[in-house]
Amino acid sequence: MDFFLHDEPLSAHTTFKIGGPADLYAKPEGEKFPERAAQILSHARNENIPLFILGAGSNVLAADAGFRGIILDVSGWRGCAIEAAAGGSVLLRVNAGTRADEAADFALENSLSGLEFLAGLPGTIGGAVWMNARCYEKSISDILAGVEILDESLKRVAVPYKHEDYAYKKSPFQTRNILIVSACLHAQMGREAKNAIRLKMETYRKDRDAKKHFSYPSAGSVFKNDHRWGKPAGKIIEELGLRGTQIGGARLADWHGNFIINTGNASARDVSALIALVQEKARQTLGIELEPEIVFLAP
């Protein structure tokens, strides 16, 4: 079943809970997803209509004015399956709209290790691959075997993993006009007992809760880290004395310098102003450029 909604508020589809209406919100579901997505992409290109691909909305700041075009929501394209197994190695095929947390649970159910670090991650696998998401000292590219995409010609193409194509929060898809359909992930069988896998996942989820990742609407970490600074962006922001700074309804979390939270009525303008304030302070005081990792969805 497909959903097509006009003037759908993006605040209902982003973890920031911010964003005005999209002209058209499209959410294809079921086995025909790749075909339906290709039709929507083709229509947008032929008619020169702006289009944005949305997953769980966990790393997005949508404009207050909304989006003048089509939002293609891939979160209806979910599912995990064991694609191949040889010895102790297993390949998992995970559809792009599957939550990273769901993929970790699927691995657990099948006593497979390697995906524990994804436990509690709010985004989709497609978004994690596109961003090369990183948490707990591990990136999605560390377990990536390959990616299936709809390429620039809207053909389904397999893209094998190449180490040189990935870096910190970088993937080759960020510079291409494509749609990620699925990812093939490495997992291991028998390396750890099922209970040990579960305990690791629970540890990561509890750590996220302890750090109040989900206490307020947010997009997670706002700025990228840079090893040249010698410390995380959050620590730098805290040392600049900015933790707790608030503009409108947007606030730098009291407990984490790299989190901007929506205290209840924040606008995209509030968040953008707070980001600019932090960048200017870091630039003037330390001479460094803090680069946002969240995606700005303009009208």
Q: Please report the pLDDT score of residue 190 as a whole number.
A: 78
Q: Which domain holds residue 49?
A: 3-73
Residue 185 pLDDT: 98
Specify the pLDDT at position 252.
Answer: 97
In sequence order, the 6+-apart residues with CB closer than 8 A to the CB of 149 are 156, 157, 159, 173, 178, 179, 180, 181
| pLDDT, averaged in runs of 10, over the chain (299 residues) | 88 97 96 96 97 96 98 97 91 98 97 96 96 94 98 97 96 97 95 91 91 87 91 95 97 94 97 98 96 94
Residue 136 lies in a domain: yes
Q: How much is the pLDDT for 214?
A: 79
Q: Kindly state whether residues 169 and 275 are assigned to the same domain.
A: no
pLDDT tens digits, one per residue of 18-64? 999 999 999 999 999 999 999 999 999 999 999 999 999 999 999 99
Task: Provide the number of structural domains found in the chain.
Answer: 3
- pTM comes to 0.94
Question: Residues 142, 262: one domain?
Answer: no
* The predicted structure's pLDDT at residue 228: 87
Reported as a single tens digit per residue, the pLDDT across 155-175 is 999 999 999 999 999 999 999
* Residues assigned a catalytic role: 221, 293
Determine the pLDDT at residue 1. 63
Q: Do residue 89 and residue 23 come from a single domain?
A: no
CB–CB of 100/125 below 8 Å?
Answer: yes
**So what's the pLDDT on residue 15?**
96
User: What is the number of alpha carbons within 13 Å of residue 191 lying toward its C-beta?
Assistant: 16
CATH number of the domain enclosing 236: 3.90.78.10
Same domain? For 251 and 282 the reply is: yes
The contacts of residue 175 (CB under 8 Å, 6+ apart) are: none
Half-sphere exposure of 115 (CA within 13 A, CB side): 34
- The domain boundary residue, chosen from 46, 73, 100: 73
Residue 195 lies in a domain: yes
Residue 115 and residue 182: Cα distance in Å, rounded?
Answer: 16
Position 153 scores a pLDDT of 97
CATH code at position 111: 3.30.465.10
- Is 40 within the bounds of a domain? yes
* pLDDT computed for residue 99 by the predictor: 97
